[in-house]
Structure 1
Amino acid sequence: MLTRSITPTLQRLAASFPVLAMTGPRQSGKTTLARHQFADKPYVSLEDPIERAFANEDPRGFLARFTQGAVFDEAQRWPDLFSHLQGMVDADRRPGRFILTGSQQFGLLAGVTQSLAGRVGMTRLLPLAASEIPAVADRQLSLDGLMLKGGYPALHTQPVEPADWFASYIATYVERDVRQVLNVQSLPTFQRFLRLCAGRTGQLLNISALASEAGITAHTAKSWLAVLESSDLIHLLPPYFRNFGKRLVKMPKLYFLDTGLACWLLGIRSEEVLALHPLRGALFENWVVSEFIKARYNQGQPSDLYFWRDNNGLEADLIFEQDNRLQMVEIKSGQTITSDTIRAGQRATRMAEDEALTPWLIYGGDESHERSGVKIFGWRDFPAAIL
C-alpha cells in the first residue's frame, strides 16, 4: 500500500462532515485508499450488479444494513443513493459516516451538489505525485523514466510495461467511459482527437484549429474537452488576468494530468526516444504543472494556478497567489543553469513589480540553490517545496 499525501485531508474532512466524497480518474487509487483508510466500514461496490439490483428494488432494505456507515464505491451508479443519504445524515449528523467514491463525469458531483450540499467534504485523487513514488525517493527512477511511466499506481506496484498498461487503459476506461457519456459514433476520430490533444500539451489551446485538424466541429471539440477535463485526464490552465493590463493572451493552455498517458498517446515508448523527442520540454513543463495541481488537490484546495503571456512575448509559465502576493514560476527542461535561464526567471517578475515574491526556476537538473535573486529547484527537490 503506497502512502498517499491526501490522507491527512481525508481524515480532516471525515472528522467534520457526515459524508466524504472522493473523485478522480479511473485507476488513480480511490478504491484502494478508501478501503484502507476506512477499513472499519463495510465496503459496497455499486458496480456489482447484484448489489445495484438490491438497491434499486428495495432501497430501504439495502441501506438498513449500513446505518452505522459504509464505503460506497462508484456511487454514481445508483443515482438515488444521494437523496436517500440526505435523509439519513439529517437524522444523524455523525461525521465520517459515509464515504463515496466515483467519477465526476458520471454524475457523482451532480448528485452530491443537488442532494448533499453542506453535508459532504469533497476531495479529488489524481495519480501519484513524485513524492508518493518510492523509486523517485530511492533515486531508482530517472526524470525521463518518471515522465514515461507517469503516476498511475498500478505502474509502480505491478510488473507491467507502461505501453501495455496504457493501451489497456485507453481501451478499457477512456474510450468506453467517454463514449458512454458523449455517444461518440467514430472511435478512430476520437482516438485521433486524443492524440492531437497530446501533441498540444503545454501549448495555447486553439479549439478551432484542433477541431479542424481532428475533422470535427468546434462545438464537438468543446464537448469532448469538457468531458476529458471532468474525467481528470486533462487540465486547462487559465491565463492570469488581474492587474497586468489588457494586452494578454486569453486562450488556456492544455496539460495532461499524467505525463505517462501523454507520452503513450504521442507514441513515445522508451526513455531514449523521449530524451530526443521535440516535445520533451513541453512534457517536462506538463509534469511540473501536474505536480502543482496534485499538491493542491491533496491539500483539499482548488488548483488556483495560472500562466501569463502578453502580446509582447512577456510570459510566466505558472503563477499562483501566496500571502496576497504572486509567485512566478519559470520551467526549463535542461539540466544546466545558464545566464539566459536566470534572466528568464527574472523577467517573470517584471510584470507584477512589487506584488511578486522571489521567482522560482524549476529545471531538469539536480542542484537547488538561490542565484541572482532567483530560487532554483532541481526536479527532485521542487515537489517538497510545494507540499
Structure 2
Amino acid sequence: MHNINPTKGQKLGHTYIKRSLEPIIKRAASEFPAVVLTGPRQSGKTTLLKHLFSKQYQYVSLEPPDVRISAKEDPRAFLEMYPSPVIFDEIQNAPDLLPYIKEKIDADRSRAGQYLLTGSQNILLIQQVTESLAGRTAILRLLPFSQREIEAQPDRSLPWDAESPPDYSRKYSYQKLWEGFIRGYYPEPNVQTRRDTNLWHASYVQTYLERDVRTLRQVGDLSQFQSFLRALAARSAQLLNLTDIARDLGIAVNTAKAWLSILEATYQVIVLRPYFANVGKRLVKTPKIYFTDAGTLCYLVGLKDPAHAASGPMGGAIMETVVISEIIKTLTHQGVQPQTYFWRTTAGTEVDLIVDTGERLVPIEVKLSATLHPAMAAAIKTFQKDFGDAAGPGYIIHPGDTALPLGANVSALPLLEL
C-alpha cells in the first residue's frame, strides 16, 4: 500500500479545513458503486477522501511508476491485491484499470462505495470513465478553497439562496483582502501560511506544465506554452481574441485553441461564455477568460505586492476573478454544474456575471471601488428591464465592508459577504 507525500493536499499536523463538498461526496459514496473526484492538482482531493474514508478504505496512489506498471501489466491481479473498498488516487495514470473495475462492480452491482477514484484531467478522464463506468459512478469536482471554506463557513449559502441576510457587522482589512488574493486559494499556501507564496505558485505552474501538459501531448514547446499562459493572464476578464494572441506569439490559431482546451481540461481556467436570449439585441459571441485561482493569475502577471495589485491595471481583473471563481466554487462544491455567463450588448452595456439558477437569472457586477453610488447599478437595471420576470435581484460586489441598496432590486454587498 502506497502513501502520499505528506505535503500533498491541505493537511499539516492536525489542521484540516472542512470542505463544502463533504456531505455530497458521502451521499454519493452511499448511493453509487464508484465515485470519481476530479479537480486541479493540489486542490485537496486526496486529503478530503482520506479525511472522510481512511478508516474504512485502503489508499493506493497510481503516480509511482512501479505501481502504474503493476496496474497496467496485470489489472486483475492488481485489483485482487487491492480489493474494495479502496481509494485509487490519480486514476488517469492507469486508465486500463477502468474496464476491470467495471467487471468487479458488476459482480456485486448493488454494493455502494466500492471504489473512490481521483483524477486531475477532466476531458480524458471523464471520457474514459463514461465509457467504462456509465451508470455506475457519480462524478464530482473539487476546486481550490472557496472563501467560505477558509472562513470555516463551508455550508453558507449564496446571497440569492440564503434564508436569512448575511452579517454585515464585520470589518475587513483591505490589505489582508489583497494579500489573500495574491496567496490564492489552493490549500497548501493557505494552511502553511509561512510558505513563500510566489515560490509556491512558480513551482505549481512548473510542475503543472511538466506533468499535465506533457501528458496531453499537444504541446511541443513548453516555454512557448508558458508564454501563452502569461498572454492569457494579461487578458484576463477581457473578451478573448485567440487570433490576436496566436499572432503575437507566432503560433497557429488551432494551436492556441488546443492549448486553451488543455487549460480548461485541467481546471486552470474558466471560459465564461455570453448569455444568449432573444430580447431583440444582438449579443457578442466571444467568450471571456478567467483563471480559476487568483493567486495563479497574480503570479503569471508578476504581482507580489498587495498595494500594486489593488491599484495597478490588473486590479479589476483580479477582483472579477475572485468573485466569479468564488461563485463557481461554491456551486461546484454543492454538487451543481454552474450555469454562469456574462452579458454584453454590441452597444457596450455589460454585466460581469449572470448566474442561471434554473428559476431566474441573477445579474452580478464586480467593482474595484468601495465607494458606492447608484450609477454602479445601471447595467444591472438594463439587464433586469430587458429580461423582465426572468431576471432576479442584482448584486454589486465590492471590496469594502458596506452593504447598501442601490435602487429597486439591486444591492451592494461586501466581497466577503458573498
> What is the percent sequence identity of the aligned residues?
42
Q: Residues 207 and 323 of structure 1: is their aligned pair in 2 closer, same or farther, counting only changes over 3 Å? A: closer
Instruction: Could you list the structure 1 runs, at least 4 aligned residues long, displaced by more than 6 angstroms after superposition.
Output: 135-138
Cα distance in 1, alignment partners of residues 84 and 225 from structure 2: 44
Residue 104 (structure 1) aligned with residue 121 (structure 2)? yes
Contact 2:172/2:401, CA 8 A, preserved across alignment: no
Paired residue secondary structure (1:349): helix
Contact 1:248/1:310, CA 8 A, preserved across alignment: yes
Cα distance in 2, alignment partners of residues 271 and 358 from structure 1: 32
Shift, 1:322, TM fit = 2.9
Contact 1:330/1:348, CA 8 A, preserved across alignment: no
Shift, 1:51, TM fit = 2.2
Residue 377 (structure 1) aligned with residue 393 (structure 2)? no
Shift, 1:354, TM fit = 2.5
Shift, 1:353, TM fit = 2.1
Cα distance in 2, alignment partners of residues 345 and 246 from structure 1: 16
Residue 14 of structure 1 is matched in structure 2 by 29
Cα distance in 1, alignment partners of residues 138 and 390 from structure 2: 33
Paired residue secondary structure (1:380): helix
Shift, 1:92, TM fit = 1.1
Cα distance in 1, alignment partners of residues 21 and 380 from structure 2: 31
Choose the corresponding residue for 2:345, options 302, 306, 310: 310
Contact 2:172/2:400, CA 8 A, preserved across alignment: no
Q: How does 1:1-387 map to 2 (within 5 A)?
A: 1-39=16-54, 40-93=56-109, 94-105=111-122, 107-134=124-151, 142-158=176-192, 159-245=194-280, 247-322=282-357, 324-373=359-408, 374-382=410-418
More deviation, 264-273/344-353 = 344-353
Cα distance in 2, alignment partners of residues 107 and 236 from structure 1: 18
Which one-letter code corresponds to 1:3 in the other structure?
K
Contact 1:237/1:305, CA 8 A, preserved across alignment: yes
Cα distance in 1, alignment partners of residues 172 and 23 from structure 2: 26
Shift, 1:106, TM fit = 7.5
Q: Residues 187 and 64 of structure 1: is their aligned pair in 2 closer, same or farther, counting only changes over 3 Å? A: closer
- How large is the RMSD of aligned CA atoms in angstroms? 1.9
Cα distance in 2, alignment partners of residues 47 and 106 from structure 1: 19
Contact 2:38/2:122, CA 8 A, preserved across alignment: no
Which one-letter code corresponds to 1:144 in the other structure?
W
Which one-letter code corresponds to 2:70 in the other structure?
F
1:137-189 deviation per Cα after TM superposition (whole angstroms, max 9, x unaligned) = 99677221121111010101112111010111111223442133235232321
Contact 1:363/1:378, CA 8 A, preserved across alignment: yes
Which one-letter code corresponds to 1:330 in the other structure?
E
Shift, 1:323, TM fit = 5.1
Residue 164 of structure 2 is matched in structure 1 by none
Shift, 1:325, TM fit = 2.1
Q: Residues 281 and 96 of structure 1: is their aligned pair in 2 closer, same or farther, counting only changes over 3 Å? A: same
More deviation, 242-251/299-308 = 242-251
Shift, 1:235, TM fit = 0.9
Cα distance in 2, alignment partners of residues 367 and 69 from structure 1: 50
Shift, 1:246, TM fit = 5.1
Cα distance in 1, alignment partners of residues 406 and 228 from structure 2: 42
Contact 1:27/1:152, CA 8 A, preserved across alignment: yes
Shift, 1:347, TM fit = 2.9
Cα distance in 2, alignment partners of residues 105 and 379 from structure 1: 29
Contact 2:171/2:401, CA 8 A, preserved across alignment: no
Paired residue secondary structure (2:303): coil
Cα distance in 2, alignment partners of residues 54 and 86 from structure 1: 18
More deviation, 371-380/347-356 = 347-356
Shift, 1:343, TM fit = 3.0
Contact 1:71/1:98, CA 8 A, preserved across alignment: yes
Cα distance in 2, alignment partners of residues 186 and 211 from structure 1: 14
Q: Which runs of 5+ in 2 are unaligned?
A: 1-15, 154-169
1:235-290 deviation per Cα after TM superposition (whole angstroms, max 9, x unaligned) = 11111112323511001110100010000000001112112211101110111111
More deviation, 326-335/249-258 = 326-335
Contact 1:329/1:348, CA 8 A, preserved across alignment: no
Q: Residues 369 and 11 of structure 1: is their aligned pair in 2 closer, same or farther, counting only changes over 3 Å? A: farther
Contact 2:361/2:391, CA 8 A, preserved across alignment: yes
Shift, 1:130, TM fit = 0.6
Shift, 1:105, TM fit = 4.8
Cα distance in 1, alignment partners of residues 205 and 72 from structure 2: 31
Shift, 1:58, TM fit = 2.7
More deviation, 213-222/368-377 = 368-377
Contact 2:339/2:357, CA 8 A, preserved across alignment: no
Contact 1:189/1:215, CA 8 A, preserved across alignment: no
Shift, 1:41, TM fit = 0.1
Aligned length: 382
More deviation, 205-214/63-72 = 63-72
Cα distance in 2, alignment partners of residues 341 and 154 from structure 1: 37
